[in-house]
Every structure is written in structure tokens, then in C-alpha cells.
Chains A and B, each alone.
Chain A
């Protein structure tokens, strides 16, 4: 118990007086997860609109596939991305770089973000689409009207996607390589992989400190997004 309290104290002193190691690790974590989300969000929004509003054969199968992929184990994703990046081809040279991590994060969170978006679009009444249509909206404008009704669900999708990406260990460890330079700057080491390293070395205080930093930062991100997503009545 004393060990935990000591670690908590150490964690907070680290938070207020961050060293280069911590700062660069936070930066890598946020950069990789943030870029993955920025790429994933618009692509998923367009796909979700096409899947839930479009009429094409095999829609049910596509949705089932997306829902299944929502629970992809991250080590499996890491392994698959590792195999693809190891092949000679357009991705040659990306292995063990932050870009490789962005790719594996994308594969990991896109089904989750897409799945939440599809559910929220399907929760919007068909009547909204009809109302937009009979006021003269074309197909794209109808889709936009329905997406606006689903905006809270889209925010949830973003929060869930970012949360999964930043809390994820398995795939970034495999394709990123958990590299930190000798001067203590992180290259592909994230907050989560740092926890793995520090606890393996027996530095439980540092490991716990990284964990607390991670949770505090995720909390901060959620608070900001939560403010954005408050229903307008409450503003």
C-alpha cells in the first residue's frame, strides 16, 4: 500500500515537473492516436452514411463484419500489420516508425468508430430523412441532415476511438518497437508501452506514474470533448 502511495506522489510530481522522457512519450502517444483519429473520423463518417442510408445488396453482411471487427484483439492487428509492413512493397521501411503505429491504430479503431457511427445513424428516425427530402434536399443533403441528428453519437465514436487508440499496447508494441533514444527521447514509445518497460525493469513507481499520467490526460480530453457535446439546451 505504501508503495502505491509513493508511486502516486511520484506520479503527480512527475506530472507537474515533467522530464524530457515523459514529455516526448506523451507527445508520441497523442500524435499517433490523434493522427489516427483525424484520418479515421471523416472516412468512417462517409462510410457510415453510405452503409446506413444507402441501399445496396450485402448491407447486412457489411454491418456484421464491422461489428465483429469492433472487438479485434490488438495483438492480432499488430501481427497482421507487421506482416504487411515486412513485405517488400509500398510500405517498405515503415516498420518501427510512428507511421507504422498510426497504420495499426487506424486498423484497430476504424471498425469501432464506424460501428458506433452506424448505430447512432440508425437511431435517427427515418422520418428525419423523409422530412429533409420533402423540403427539397438531395441525397447528400439528406445524409447531412441525418448526420447532424446523430452528432452526439459521432462524438461518442470519436471519444471511444481515441480512448481505444491511446490505451492500446499490443499492436503499437509490435509495429512500433517501443524505441526510446539514449538521451531519453521517445521515438515510438507510448505511455502504455512505457508502462510495460518500466514494470518489467521493476520501476513500479515510474510505471504507475505513467499510468496515472495517461488516465489524467484521457480524462482531460474527455472533459473537453464532453463540453463540445453538451446538448444545446444546457449551454
Chain B
């Protein structure tokens, strides 16, 4: 077993409320791990610690990319998360999906993309920049091709959640976190999201998700971890009827 992420003895409290009290968890490379549990069990807090948004008050979170301990700064560029609320930036869909790419891009590419987007608004079409192409592909993947110029505020809840997914997918993260990815989604969007999660794993990537839906956890996950009152109370391996998943293959280079 090759762990990509190891959490040891995680503790976290908000004021007097103890959200996590000693969680140990090793996430294997290429697995889908579902974290289930009642509201207030600490699922979202666990995700905030694992995505390095919050620092544990006790314990540690360590990433191992390429088998070596990876510094937090580098690890943050190789993971991505979709929050429970879409939390889109108040700009257009393109600006949302391109956000992480633009953060990582060198100045010249950022400038070229902004120029191309600006001219497009005036009706002038330059050949799309690499970032524009990747955004378009990510939007196609989530079933929102052609949505680039829509305002984030004009989207339905399901569309917004899928844009939030696209802006994480476009980064091709090695570990993807999804906090209640299909809660309050219409059935059609939920099916698309589940398909993407499977496709993502088949690509050798790791997915962590929280869910309220036991059926979804069983459908998707290789392993289910049950959280209650800030502790892991049960771990269950799911053996699928089919053969082992195909060997990992890199996604688009």
C-alpha cells in the first residue's frame, strides 16, 4: 500500500466544541475514500485539515507525492477541493474555472489569456490560449460546454456545483476532495458527478468524498470511513464484484 496522505492524531476544536478528537487516517494512492457520518461528526473539519486550509491543533497531516514527504506549499498545488457550497467567485464561468490555472501560469500566459478574453467580448476571436482550451474541456466534462461567458450569479444550483467541480478538475489534481458533491443536486447533475468521480479514479488519481448517502458511498468508494463525534468509529473495505481497477494512466500528460 502506498499512502499519498497520512493524517496522525488530528485534533481540532472551535472554541469549546471539539470537532475532531484524534483521527488517524492513511489514504492510498488511487483509491476512492468515502467519509460518512451524521451532521456535526467532523467531516468538513477533517477535510479542512486535510486540504491544509486549517492547521491541526494537535497531530499532523503529511503528503507523499512520488513516495517522499512533500512540503505543504508544493502539496497544495497538487490537490484541489470542491466545497459543500459552490462558493463561486462573482465573475463569469470562465473566470471561475480558469482561476487555479491563472494562479499557476507564468505572466505571459496570464496576459495572453486576459487579452484573448477581453477581445472576445469585443467580438474579436484570437486562437484560444492553452488555458482557454483547458477550461473548455473541463466544462465539457461536466456537461456545461459553451457556458464560459455566463455570469456565476445566473447559474442554477446544480450548474454552479458543476462549475465548482470543473474549476477543481481543470487543475488535474492528484488528490481531489469533494465535500457532499451531490447533496442538493438534481438527479441528472448527480449522475454526471458520479461518472466524473469514477473516471477520475480510473486515471490513477485519488478521491476523498464525504456523503450522507450510504448508497452513493457503496457505489463509488473502495473504502468507507465512518466518523462520529470527531473519531473514526468504523472502516469498511468495499470489494467490488469486478476485477481490480486498471493500472493508473496519466491524464492528458
Which A residues fall within an 8 A CB radius of B? 125, 127-128, 130-138, 141, 145, 148-149, 232-233
Contact (A136, B151) CB under 8 Å given A128-B89, A145-B89, A149-B89: no
A195: min CB distance to chain B, Å: 42
Contact (A132, B83) CB under 8 Å given A149-B90, A232-B151, A233-B151: no
A150: min CB distance to chain B, Å: 10
Q: Which residues of B contact A136 (CB under 8 A)?
A: 76-77, 80, 100, 103-104, 171
Q: Which residues of B contact A125 (CB under 8 A)?
A: 85, 87
Q: Which residues of A contact B51 (CB under 8 A)?
A: 133-134
Q: Which residues of B contact A148 (CB under 8 A)?
A: 89-91
Over the window 159-191 of chain B, the binary record of Cβ atoms lying under 8 Å from chain A Cβ atoms (1 yes, 0 no) is 000001001100100000100000000000000
Q: Which residues of B contact A133 (CB under 8 A)?
A: 51, 53, 76
| Top 9 A-B residue pairs of the complex, sorted by shortest distance between their CB atoms | A134-B81, A135-B100, A127-B87, A131-B87, A134-B51, A136-B77, A133-B53, A136-B100, A127-B85
Contact (A135, B53) CB under 8 Å given A127-B87, A128-B87, A233-B153: no
List B residues 123-180 near A (Cβ within 8 Å): 151, 153-154, 164, 167-168, 171, 177
Q: Which residues of A contact B76 (CB under 8 A)?
A: 133, 136
Most buried by B among A128, A132, A135: A135
A54: min CB distance to chain B, Å: 15
Check B99 for interface membership: any CB of A closer than 8 A. yes
Q: Which residues of B contact A132 (CB under 8 A)?
A: 89, 99
Q: How far does the alpha carbon of A149 sit from the alpha carbon of B51 in the complex, in Å?
A: 23
Let me know if B90 and A135 touch, CB within 8 A. no
Question: Interface residues of B: mostly helix, strand, loop or mixed?
Answer: mixed
Over the window 115-129 of chain B, the binary record of Cβ atoms lying under 8 Å from chain A Cβ atoms (1 yes, 0 no) is 000000000000000
Check B212 for interface membership: any CB of A closer than 8 A. no
Let me know if A135 and B151 touch, CB within 8 A. no
Q: Which residues of A contact B48 (CB under 8 A)?
A: 130
Let me know if A141 and B103 touch, CB within 8 A. yes
- The answer, among A130, A135, A138, A232, for a CB contact under 8 Å with B171, is A135
In the complex, besides A134-B51, A134-B79, 17 extra interface pairs with C-beta distance below 8 angstroms are: A125-B85, A127-B83, A130-B48, A130-B83, A130-B87, A131-B88, A134-B80, A134-B168, A136-B77, A136-B80, A136-B103, A136-B104, A137-B100, A141-B103, A145-B99, A148-B91, A232-B151
B22: min CB distance to chain A, Å: 24
Let me know if A135 and B168 touch, CB within 8 A. yes
Nearest opposing residue in chain B for A141, CB measure: B103
Q: How far does the alpha carbon of A128 sit from the alpha carbon of B73 in the complex, in Å?
A: 20
Q: How far does the alpha carbon of A232 sit from the alpha carbon of B94 in the complex, in Å?
A: 14
Q: How far does the alpha carbon of A145 sit from the alpha carbon of B96 in the complex, in Å?
A: 11
Q: How far does the alpha carbon of A148 sit from the alpha carbon of B152 in the complex, in Å?
A: 14
Let me know if A134 and B151 touch, CB within 8 A. no
Q: Which residues of B contact A128 (CB under 8 A)?
A: 87, 89
Nearest opposing residue in chain B for A148, CB measure: B89
